[in-house]
Amino acid sequence: MQYDFRAIENKWQQHWKENNTYAVSNKSDKPKCYVLDMFPYPSGSGLHVGHPLGYIASDIYARYKRLKGFNVLHPMGFDAFGLPAEQYAIETGQHPADTTKQNIKRYKEQLEKIGFCYDWNREIITAEPSYYKWTQWIFSQLFSAYFNKESNKAEPIEQLILSFEKNGYTSEALCFSATDWNAYSTAEQEKILMGFRLAYRAESQVNWCEGLGTVLANDEVINGVSERGGHPVERKLMSQWFLRISAYAERLLSALDHLEYPDSLKEMQRNWIGKSVGAKINFKIDGYNEHIDVFTTRPDTIFGSSFLVLAPEHDLVAQITTAEQKETIEQYINKTAKRSERDRLADTKVVSGAFTGAYAIHPLTKNKLPIWIADYVLINYGTGAIMAVPAGDERDLRFANEYNLEIPNIFKNHDLSAGACTDKKAVLQNSDFLNDKTFEESSCLAIEKLQEQNAGQEKINYRMRDAGFSRQRYWGEPFPILTNNNGEYKLAADLPVTLPAVDKYENGPEGKGPLANLTDWMQLDGWTRETDTMPGYAGSSWYYLRYMDPTNEDAFCSKEASDYWNQVDVYVGGAEHAVGHLLYSRLWCKVLHDLDYISFDEPYKKVLNQGMIQGNSRLVYRVVGENKFVSAGLKEEHQTEPIHVDVSMCDGLVLDTTAFKTWRKDFEESEFILEDGKYICGQQTEKMSKRLYNVVNPDDIVIDYGADTFRMYEMFLGPIEDSKPWDTKGIEGVHRFLKKLWRLFYHEDNFIVTNDVPTKDELKVLHQTIQKVQQGTETFSFNTAVSQFMICVNELGKLSCNKKEILAPLIIMLSSYAPHITEELWKVLGNKSSILDESFPVLNEDYLKEDEINYPVAFNGKVKFQMTFNAEASPQSIEDVVRADTKTTEQLGDKNIKKVIVVKGRMINIVV
């Protein structure tokens, strides 16, 4: 009997499907375990070998937990709304719903061939009305809630309204009495409430991407261009939906400490949230009844402040600019506004600005400080205004030098020609009551003083902005909300608000989305529907909850279900979602928790980032201007240009020149300059992508070697979180391993497994394997577990062990890694039930114990020879024997022993 992996894998995949083997129940006496993958966006190009890496890891872990007696939820679904599907639709004229459906079908086929233990009964697709009904419902909850700073959580907006009706409201920015409130019109009231709702509509500077015809969230803009497509992004004032994630900044930040996320990921989130502690200081404007708020982390340097700088977009600029400076200021604003985000980021070293002509009064010295505008001050950060302290800030110093502004030196023993002083340990001077103090002591003193003067207070600032939640696109969830001419809002009564059909995807009037072309659909009983759609991250912000209760028609997820499954125990996916998806889903979880819909306020206990599998590209070198290709080793002798060729045309680095000639018409007549009769390609590690002809399809690997080999090989490649280039060559070793395993059961056509009693050696290797595999799987070091399986099978082969008592537990362990072959072998061992229902073998450490231990004997740390001792021998007795041994005296020569160190069970070191 040969190991016919194709027949075996087909047979069991079908069997599992027909018998619903992987169906999971919400009712069980077993402890639960929730193992989740970041679900894929089904793109048109299908899966490549990099995609399943994380899926395989989580699948092994899920199967392992099942063997360990857990009720394991391990679902899969599809993140189906989004820009690429719509753009593809525009190009091809097909409806995005159709192409998405096709892509999902393809993905599922590919996934099914790899033998994952997903419960497909729980599959979810975010673009289906039965799903997005609840995405819309959660939006309604966000719209109907506000963040209560007192209780530090979200609460129903009705409570806020009650409080307004009873007590009015007082804050720095807003103040009204109960009588005022009750006298306001509904529209006026709504306008105020919009300042509190967790989902709100507001005019704001947004990232507008003309190329994609939509606004983008901050995390979708990379270096001033869109993450998708690389189109330029500009700042634009638009009315948009936002999520008030800033209200949760502190909770999102502090909870990180208790989460098992990779350090780098936590750092990214901390960085994104960007907490900084400092002070808000207000400067009165000379001659106006206005003041400018600045934010600073260094209130101690207040005496070094010699001018103020506002962002060009700052509200007060127009008001305070003097007549003679008006033209200069307007010119400067025009110039900066025109620059794209990308240009602005490109020349951050250039100093530019303009003087408003106005002066502010220093709150402590009462000096007059000139007020400038400059684009190095950002409207989106802090208050959009700074007090410039040239002695303490590099940029302020550059600016002061450029425009000949005063530079008070407030640091002792510091030479300002060498640059600004940013050292917090520096000692202050020329700073009145702060003289001779450092940052640590003076910061609080400065704040106290300012507070006395009513000119400032301590302030914590967060960099994170509220998240844009509108997209002017078609292929997304419609907002379940309507508005009328009075500026009132109303949530849709019936959910879902289904996405209407359109026949074109062009933007509607006034920069609105395609839905704004549907004038009939937009109107409903005197109300107008929202025509924006939700962004890609809406559906993925809560999908992990829907898997718990996927068909519930009355709730997004029943409380029983979410109480039972609770948090995701392990969440596996790419690090690219560190600040986008992961933060948004943490926010939604906290809101749903605050509103009492779920009992936990963090979605994922542990996150694991799998590395990227890169492509291993092949290059040929064309002699410039000729149809001649030179082998890589000889390319220096010619002037060449590299061209990517399809990896499938190469065996290792050797190009199949015949295949190459038929690959593309223009290569038909190619000539080759060979080395040793072969054409050797160049290679390059880069992103796996169709464009670079380096994509390896898992389907091909599965056809050639089988899913079990593929799964184990991906794990064997190295630590799961590392990125590495794909190399198909090494797969042979894993395949050989499975064939060797097979031969422990079959010799030619004979089934050779016996019921003999195992020997000590056999039990030892088995239990070593139990130990290593258990440890490796639990710590996600799957590569070491695979190694141990190989060691075990090699060892059993050497011992000619064909004993059921050894092989049965071995294949139970292996079933998480290679489910098909082990299910087959389990059956040939005479079992009727599935191997999946077995338990992970229990480690008995007694079998690991050795009677005798081989001690390396080292002299000054260098191993010279070995000696064997009884495992129970005491260190003293060992030392005595070693000292007396002739090999020792030989080594010593005329030197003396200073000390002998015996590490029990490990080694002996003799200090000479």
Partner RNA sequence: GCGGGUGUGGUGAAAUUGGUAGACACGCUAGACUUAGGAUCUAGUGCCUAACAGCUUGAAGGUUCGAGUCCUUUCACCCGCACCA
Instruction: Show contacts with RNA in window 828-847 (CB under 7 A).
Output: none
Cα–Cα distance measured from residue 394 to residue 513, given in angstroms and rounded to the nearest whole number? 44
- Pick the piece of the chain touching RNA (CB under 7 A) from 584-592, 728-736, 817-825, 833-841: 728-736
CA dist 369 and 361 (Å) reads 6
Q: Which is nearer to RNA, 30 or 736 (CB)?
A: 736
Convert 844-867 to b/e letters by CB count within 10 Å (16 or more is b).
Answer: eeebeeeeebebebbbeeeeeeeb
Output 109 or 394, the one with its CB closest to RNA: 394
Nearer to RNA (CB atom), residue 326 or residue 906: 906
**Contact between 427 and 412 (Cβ < 8 Å):** yes
Q: What angle do CA 263, 264, 270 make, to 5 degrees?
A: 90
Residue type, 537: Y
User: Which amino acid type is present at position 384?
Assistant: G
| Under rule CB under 7 A, residue 267 binds RNA | yes
Please report, as residue ranges, which positions from 791 to 810 form the binding site for RNA (by CB under 7 A). 791, 794, 797-798
Minimum distance from CB of 632 to RNA (Å)? 15
Torsion region of 867: left, alpha or beta (phi above 0 gives left; psi -120 to 50 gives alpha) = beta
Identified binder of RNA from the candidate list 258, 425, 665, 899, rule CB under 7 A: 899
| Least spacing, CB of residue 60 vs RNA, in Å | 16
Q: Find the binding residues for RNA in span 276-315 (CB under 7 A).
A: 276, 278, 295-298, 311
Cα 507 to its chain centre, rounded Å, is 31
For RNA, the binding residues in 483-542 under the rule CB under 7 A are none
Binding mask 6-25 for RNA (x = CB under 7 A): --------------------
Nearer to RNA, 11 or 275 (CB): 275
Report the DSSP pairing between strands 145-148 and 153-156: antiparallel
**Binding test (CB under 7 A) with RNA, winner from 231, 638, 661, 739:** 739
In terms of CB distance, is 156 or 274 closer to RNA? 274
Whole-angstrom Cα distance, residue 116 to residue 348? 50
Q: Which of 284, 342, 628, 740 binds RNA (CB under 7 A)?
A: 740
Q: Which is nearer to RNA, 89 or 311 (CB)?
A: 311
Considering only residues 542-581, where is the footprint of RNA by CB under 7 A? Answer: 575, 578-579
Shorter beta-carbon distance to RNA: residue 508 or 574: 574
Which residue's CB is nearer to RNA, number 579 or number 836? 579
Which CB sits closer to RNA, 66 or 767? 767
DSSP state of 803: B
Q: Which of the stretches 436-444, 600-608, 630-638, 787-795 binds RNA when contact is defined by CB under 7 A?
A: 787-795
Nearer to RNA, 386 or 545 (CB): 386
When binding is defined by CB under 7 A, the residue of 174, 175, 183, 222 that contacts RNA is 222
Q: Does 367 bind RNA (CB under 7 A)?
A: no
Determine which residue in the list 717, 741, 766, 882 makes contact with RNA, applying CB under 7 A.
717
| Closest CB to RNA among residues 276, 834 | 276
b/e per residue, 271-293, with b = 16+ CB within 10 A? ebbeeeebbbbbbbbeeeeebbe
Q: Which of 338, 729, 760, 832 lies at the binding interface for RNA (CB under 7 A)?
A: 729
Stretch touching RNA by CB under 7 A, among 144-152, 264-272, 530-538, 545-553: 264-272
Is 722 one of the binding residues for RNA (CB under 7 A)? yes
* 152 versus 876: smaller Cβ distance to RNA: 876
- Amino acid making up residue 196: F
Q: Which residues pair with 675 in a beta bridge?
A: 678
Least distance (Å) from RNA to the CB of residue 342?
12
The answer to whether the CB of 118 falls within 8 A of the CB of 107 is: no
Nearer to RNA, 27 or 862 (CB): 862
How would you class 510 by CB atoms within 10 Å of its CB: exposed for 0-12, middle for 13-18, buried for 19 or more?
Answer: exposed
Question: Given the rule CB under 7 A, which of 265-273, 531-539, 622-630, 688-696 is the region that contacts RNA?
Answer: 265-273
* Per-residue tokens: 75: 């679902």
E strand intervals along 871-912: 899-903, 907-911
Residue 891 in contact with RNA, rule: CB under 7 A = no
In 3-state terms, what secondary structure has residue 35?
strand
Residues in contact with RNA, shown as a per-residue x/- string from 850 to 879 under the rule CB under 7 A:
----x-x-x-xxxx--x-------------
Nearest to 769 by CA among 842, 854, 871: 842
Residue pair 220/228 in contact (Cβ under 8 Å)? The answer is yes
Query: Which member of 787, 831, 834, 891 binds RNA (CB under 7 A)?
Result: 787
Among positions 694-713, residues that touch RNA (CB under 7 A) are: 704
Q: How far is the CB of 375 from RNA (least distance, A)?
A: 5
Whole-angstrom Cα distance, residue 820 to residue 620? 40
Q: What is d(CA 545, CA 602) in angstroms, rounded to the nearest whole number?
A: 12
Q: For RNA, give the closer residue by CB, 281 or 329.
A: 281
Q: How far is the CB of 636 from RNA (least distance, A)?
A: 20
Q: Residue 223 forms beta bridges with which residues?
A: none
Q: Which is nearer to RNA, 557 or 744 (CB)?
A: 744
* Separation between Cα atoms, residue 218 and residue 223, nearest integer Å: 10
Asked if 695 and 763 count as a contact pair (C-beta separation under 8 A), the reply is no
Closer Cβ to RNA, 50 or 478, answer by number: 50
Pairing of strands 570-573, 32-37: parallel
CB of 357 vs RNA, minimal distance in Å: 21
Instruction: Confirm or reject binding of residue 724 to RNA (CB under 7 A).
Output: yes
Min. distance of Cβ 152 from RNA in angstroms? Answer: 24
Nearest C-alpha neighbor of 118 from the set 24, 42, 54: 24
Beta partners for residue 613, in sequence order: 724
- In the complex with RNA, the residue whose CB is nearer, 340 or 787, is 787
CB of 1: closest distance to RNA in angstroms?
14
Contacts (CB under 7 A) with RNA, residues 334-363 = 344-345, 347-348, 350
Residue 133, Cα to own-chain centre: how many angstroms?
Answer: 26
Nearest to 78 by CA among 47, 33, 53, 34: 47
> In sequence order, what are the residues at sequence separation of 6 or more whose Cβ sits closer than 8 angstroms to the Cβ of residue 130?
496, 551, 553
Q: Give dist(CA 17, CA 820) in Å, integer.
A: 13
Determine contact, residues 81/475, Cβ cutoff 8 Å. yes
Nearer to RNA, 216 or 579 (CB): 579
Q: How many other β-carbons are positioned within 10 Å of the β-carbon of residue 433?
A: 12
Residues 379-398 that bind RNA (CB under 7 A): 381-386, 389, 393, 395
What would the x/- binding string for RNA be over residues 453 to 472, using CB under 7 A?
Answer: --------x-x---------
Tokens 């069997």 sit on residue: 15
Q: Is 625 in the site for RNA (CB under 7 A)?
A: no
Tell me which stretch binds RNA (CB under 7 A): 17-25, 167-175, 714-722, 870-878.
714-722
| Site membership for RNA, residue 730 (CB under 7 A) | yes
DSSP alpha helix (H) spans, 531-595: 537-540, 543-546, 559-565, 581-594
User: What's the DSSP call for residue 829?
Assistant: T
904 counts as binding RNA under rule CB under 7 A:
no
Count of residues in contact with RNA, rule CB under 7 A: 81
Q: Tokens for 630?
A: 């030179």
> How buried is residue 55: exposed, middle or buried, by Cβ count under 10 Å (0-12/13-18/19+)?
buried
Stretch that binds RNA, among 5-13, 235-243, 736-744, 823-831 (CB under 7 A): 736-744
Segment near RNA (CB under 7 A), from 174-182, 373-381, 530-538, 639-647? 373-381
Q: Which of residues 399-438 bind RNA (CB under 7 A)?
A: none
- Rounded CA-CA distance 787/789 in Å is 5
User: What value, to the nearest 5°, has the Cα angle with vertex 228 and ends 243 and 47?
Assistant: 110
